[in-house]
Amino acid sequence: MFSSKSAAVISDKGVDIVHSVLILLLTALLLNSLGTPQTPAPRQSRPEEVGEDDVVRVDTTLVGVPVTVLDRDGRFVPGLKREDFQIYENGVEQQIAYFAQVEANVTTLLLFDRFVKGYRETANAFADRMGMGDKVLVARFGDSKYEILTKADDGPAGVRKEKQTVKWHFGKHIYDAVEAAIKRMNSIPGRKAILLYSDGLNPPETISVTIDMSERELSRTEEDPLQRATALGNIREAAESDAPFYVLQYDTMTDAVRQGPNPKNSATLNSFIPEARNWYRIAYAYLHLLVEKTGGRIYQVASGPGLNQAKNPPGLAQAFTEISAELQQQYSLGYYPKDKANDLHQIKVRVAKPGVVVRSRTSYTPLTSKP
């Protein structure tokens, strides 16, 4: 038998052992109740409801580049392959990740300035030239709705108007209207384009823009109190969008402004003319920048005093024929930029075929820089 002394020692050691065992058991129970430590599962959030007119920005680095290749006579060059194209960004060649000769349907937004007469007839004339299944959205500055025309069959009889179910307000003045047009088209999937019918003028009382024609650069000197959008904002948003701009430029300059100050004019008119001429210089640069940044084209479809030739102007039919043919015959390229750090990405597309004209977007600004 153990002595009382040895029993006491064992008792003390036993207590220590019991304490240790209890601590281990409690720790195990606690860990079991909490679960094995691990990375928390992603929080399941309810899907966000997105309205039909909301703009959805997708966080992706794939840059889409619609490309038109024409011969010297202005005819589309078919049959080109991926290896015939090269894409350069800021002078560095990029690997083409996506290539297709696009034959998919096209959605085109026709955006008319408020002064353009007979715009519905003009829209139908354009829709007549599109392919089966193509859609044409018809909008005008200041209107809260747009009409939708669909080419259901071959020939003029195939154009039908769809029910107006969507409200979208295109601003009263050009900068707001163009901003709304870009947002509307950004929310539409697939191939798309914007045809802008305008003289490019902003209301004189709201202009606060300076211009350097040598570089065709616009700079704003102060905020416009009557508009939310700006000329520079339009250019940036257009460069980010994959909808090229085609501009039907109406020349609304009066003879007095075109000829410049004249001793036969009143002093008031002569003092006004230099300012008015500057408005047209700004409009010219603005419209050309929209086209250059997106890879579209610009057409001078009307000229003459005032708005007398705003309805059915000369050159409109030829412009329609060229634009509709170009929209239905394009190549679609895409690449993942090697350098994602730059804010501005200059794009250059080359085709390994002599004697061709290549049109594409010339730049883009990453969407990650915006909320």
pLDDT of residue 138: 92
Q: Are residues 189 and 311 in the same domain?
A: yes
pLDDT of residue 95: 93
Residue 346 lies in a domain: yes
Tracing tokens 């006579």 back to the chain, one arrives at 73
141 near 114, Cβ under 8 Å?
yes
Residue 35 lies in a domain: no
Residues 21-58 as b/e (b if ≥16 CB within 10 A, e otherwise) read eeeeeeeeeeeeeeeeeeeeeeeeeeeeeeeeeeeeee
Q: Render pLDDT for 236-249 as a digit per residue (tens, 0 to 9).
A: 899 888 889 999 99
Q: How many domains does the chain have?
A: 2
pLDDT of residue 13: 46
Residue 43 lies in a domain: no
pLDDT of residue 195: 96
Residues of the chain under the 50 pLDDT cut: 1-19, 21-59, 205-208, 213, 221-223, 304-310, 369-371
3-state secondary structure (DSSP) of residue 121: helix
Taking the alpha carbons at both ends of the chain, their separation in whole angstroms is: 83
| Dihedral pair phi/psi, residue 252, rounded to 5° | -105, 10
Q: Are residues 116 and 202 in the same domain?
A: yes
Residue 2 lies in a domain: no
Q: Are residues 296 and 235 in the same domain?
A: yes
Structural domain of 336: 57-103+330-371
Residue 367 lies in a domain: yes
Q: Are residues 192 and 110 in the same domain?
A: yes
In angstroms, the CA 123 to CA 143 distance is: 16
134 near 108, Cβ under 8 Å?
yes
Residue 274 lies in a domain: yes
The model carries a pTM of: 0.68
Per the structure block, which two tokens stand in for 327? 């929209």
Cα 190 to the chain's mean position, in Å?
13
pLDDT of residue 231: 87
Q: What is the CATH number of the domain that holds 147?
A: 3.40.50
Q: Are residues 128 and 160 in the same domain?
A: yes
Q: Are residues 165 and 270 in the same domain?
A: yes
Residue 179 lies in a domain: yes
Q: Are residues 110 and 99 in the same domain?
A: no
In angstroms, the CA 113 to CA 232 distance is: 19
Q: Are residues 252 and 200 in the same domain?
A: yes
Q: Are residues 119 and 89 in the same domain?
A: no
Q: Are residues 234 and 357 in the same domain?
A: no
pLDDT of residue 12: 44
Residue 12 lies in a domain: no
Q: Are residues 366 and 220 in the same domain?
A: no
Pairing between strand 217-220 and 209-212? antiparallel
Cα 123 to the chain's mean position, in Å?
22
Q: Are residues 113 and 225 in the same domain?
A: yes
- Beta-strand ranges (E) seen in 303-360 are 330-335, 345-351, 357-360
pLDDT of residue 219: 59
* Closest CA relative to residue 198, chosen from 261, 284, 305: 284
* Closest CA relative to residue 133, chosen from 110, 116, 115, 152: 152
